[in-house]
Amino acid sequence: MALSVKDRVFAAAEKISAERRPTVSTVRAEAGVSNADATRYLKEWAEEKQAAGGQVAATPPTILEQAARLAGTCWAEASAAANERHAATEVAWAQEKKELNEEVAELVADLDKVTAEKDDAVSELTAKIAELERQLAGAAEQVDQARSAERQAAADANAAGTRAAAAEARAAALQEAHDALLQRITPQGPQTDGQPAHDQA
């Protein structure tokens, strides 16, 4: 059911009065009514509030005393309840803080453990890399030595081949000279004409 213009103005005035004194402009904006309606019904609302205040002032002292006692009792009970809630909240907060601190301590311990494991792994890998680099350097040196030995062996083989060829040539020359010398010193067979044989010059 839609509220009437008056009800909307009264509701807006009550709402605004909880924080500050309502005015025509604030009530008009809050209630969504015209300036004339806001002026008219805000005045009625203020008059009703004033009349209600006068009635309270005219309340008998005994009623006011009972109301004060009741208010004091309510305030005491509310304070006690608030204190209990506050104490319970503090206990819960202390427990939650303790649990959070324990959780943080566990996380820190886990982090330290993981960090230590990571450092160990890095150290181990660094040592393996250094060893592999050392082995690689040794292998490279061995390869260089092998290549140098191969080149030396090839050079020695070439030199030996050259010397062998020279020796063969010298041996052939010596053999040829030897054969020629033998031919010169070997006597000829008897001549058919009865003449003595002569050395071949």
Residue with tokens 């004060």: 68
Q: What is the pLDDT of residue 74?
A: 84
Q: What pLDDT score does 160 carry?
A: 85
The per-residue pLDDT for 200 is: 46
Label each residue of 92-117 as H, E or C.
HHHHHHHHHHHHHHHHHHHHHHHHHH
Is-above-0.75 flag for pTM?
no
In the predicted model, residues of the chain with pLDDT beneath 50 are 192-201
Tell me the CA distances in angstroms from 162 to 10, 151, 155, one per residue in order: 129, 16, 10
CA distances from 163 to 56, 115, 149, 167, 168 (A): 142, 70, 20, 6, 8
Q: What is the pLDDT of residue 55?
A: 59
Give the per-residue pLDDT at 83: 87
Considering the chain, what percentage of its residues have pLDDT values greater than 70?
88
